[in-house]
Amino acid sequence: MPMKFDPCSQPSLMHPDEAIIKLLDQVMPLSDSEMVQLPHALGRVLAEDLASSIDLPPFNNSAMDGYAFRLQDLSNNDTLTLIGHSFAGHPFDGEVKPNTCVRIMTGAPLPAGYDTVQMQEKASANGDSITIEAPDAVGENVRYRGEELNTGDKVLRAGTQIGAAEMGVLATIGASQVRVVRRVKVAFFSTGDELRPVGSELAPGQIYDSNRYSIQGLLSRSNVEWVDLGVIADDPEAIREAFRTGAAQADMLLTSGGVSVGDADYTKQILEEEGEITFWKLAMKPGKPFAFGRLGKAIFCGLPGNPVSSMVTYYKLVWPLINKMQGLPRAKPLLLQAKLSSDLRKFAGRVEYQRGVLSHNEQGQAEVSITGGQGSGMLTSMSLANCFVILAREQGDTPAGSLVTVEPFNSVLC
Ligand SMILES: Nc1nc2c(c(=O)[nH]1)N[C@H]1C(S)=C(S)[C@@H](COP(=O)(O)OP(=O)(O)OC[C@H]3O[C@@H](n4cnc5c(N)ncnc54)[C@H](O)[C@@H]3O)O[C@H]1N2
Ligand code: MOO
């Protein structure tokens, strides 16, 4: 069958991989930082390296519920005399003597003078006489002071995004507040006379404005501070006003719609008049009419209005920019190979990000199926998906059974 070419593509359009390199060259990490209390640190990016102010663990302690003793006392005799208890939070406060042991719980301090712990399943008690199976080596079941970290050791580096594990690590070393990079501030609006807010009735020709909600979701997941400027009519002066309002208060202005070639597509025109346009249109589907430029000090990203196009361009082009501005190192996408479970339709000409469901077949091999119709307006193709199937620019229709490149959705899209 002859290869079909995409009527929406031209050879001169820039490849999205080239575009992202050019885009990243246009932004710098924010230099401002602020202190935040630990409960508010989730998702933020550390502005400086962080060293531990304590040893970890802070004291020698037991890894098991059992008995603590000196191993050499078990060399001639397997029975020791119980002289007390050490509970987590309530250390043994007596004096350790030869041929004795202390009942000890997981996390409880190891009494000074003892060197080993045996789990209770390998010991038996008869009143204060405890018969203990000797472990193989001194120090068994002991967690030593500083074995994880010493005071002054670097715990987390500048540029680390604070996730659930980092929240715990910070608390472990007693950090009640941390210095983080200021949040990137993003102002955004949708354009389109057809758009109505949810909660209102639709007149003929109208649709609900969904992009502001998917974009809000994406911005929230990107941990930025966002300002919603609402829906702006297809009116050049209203768009100009919104451009000025957004650019005056944000690091980035994000818009949805009006970047194509229609008679009411004013976004690009106003960008050219009010600021500068760095580039427009990429060899990608969805997302061809993505526009990028500057408005005063603000970065401008014009997302296409089609709902899937706006999400895909955000994820592929805008999110890496925000990450760089927030001081994160560039994350290369995790790409996998999976077997296509049914025939896939594609015109040659643009890189395509089809939406798929990645799973394992009965043989344990990665398999991917496409989520039905792939029109740029069909947002359910995103909500049903857990990955993109990335198809090269020159690729055409692809038969079932072919190996294709898959990028699983990450936390921004889930
Ligand atoms: N003659 C051509 N027409 C189009 C081309 C082209 O190259 N030549 N490109 C097509 C491509 S590709 C895309 S993508 C769209 C993008 O157009 P715009 O960015 O100008 O977006 P609109 O025209 O404003 O809207 C497109 C579509 O999406 C709906 N929409 C817009 N905003 C929202 C919103 N906030 N929530 C839900 N849906 C929204 C809108 O009603 C339209 O159906 O242009 C093609 N045309
Ligand atoms: O690029 Mo458009 O996003 O194909 O519909």
- Tens digits of per-residue pLDDT, 62-95? 999 999 999 999 999 999 999 999 999 999 999 9
pLDDT of 243 > 80? The answer is: yes
Name the one residue in this structure whose structure tokens are 């501030």.
185
Q: Is the CB of 313 under 6 A from ligand 2?
A: no
Nearest to 47 by CA among 254, 247, 327: 327
Q: Is the CB of 354 under 6 A from ligand 2?
A: no
How many Å is the Cα radius of gyration of the chain? Answer: 30
Convert the pLDDT of each residue in 298-343 to its tens digit. Answer: 999 999 999 999 999 999 999 999 999 999 999 889 999 999 999 9
Q: Say whether the peptide bond before residue 16 is cis (omega within 30 degrees of 0).
A: no
ipTM of the complex: 0.98
CB atoms < 10 A from the CB of 75, how many?
Answer: 9
Q: What is the pLDDT of residue 1?
A: 56
Nearest to 180 by CA among 47, 40, 51: 47
Phi, psi of 273 (to 5 degrees): -75, -35
Token digits of residue 204:
């003929």
pLDDT of 287 > 80? The answer is: yes
Convert the pLDDT of each residue in 368-401 to its tens digit. Answer: 999 999 999 999 999 999 999 999 999 999 999 9
Q: How confident is the model at residue 2 (pLDDT cuts 50, 70, 90)?
A: low
Name the one residue in this structure whose structure tokens are 């919603």.
228
Domains parsed from the chain with CATH numbers: 16-31+183-325 (3.40.980.10), 34-56+149-181 (3.90.105.10), 61-143 (2.170.190.11), 336-408 (2.40.340.10)
Where does ligand 1 bind, in terms of residues with CB under 6 Å?
A: 8, 190, 192, 194-195, 207, 209-212, 256-262, 265, 286, 288-289, 304-307, 309, 376-377
Q: How far apart are CA 232 and CA 407, in angstroms?
A: 34
Name the one residue in this structure whose structure tokens are 């490849």.
15
> Please, what is the end-to-end C-alpha distance for the chain in angstroms?
38
Name the one residue in this structure whose structure tokens are 């401002």.
32
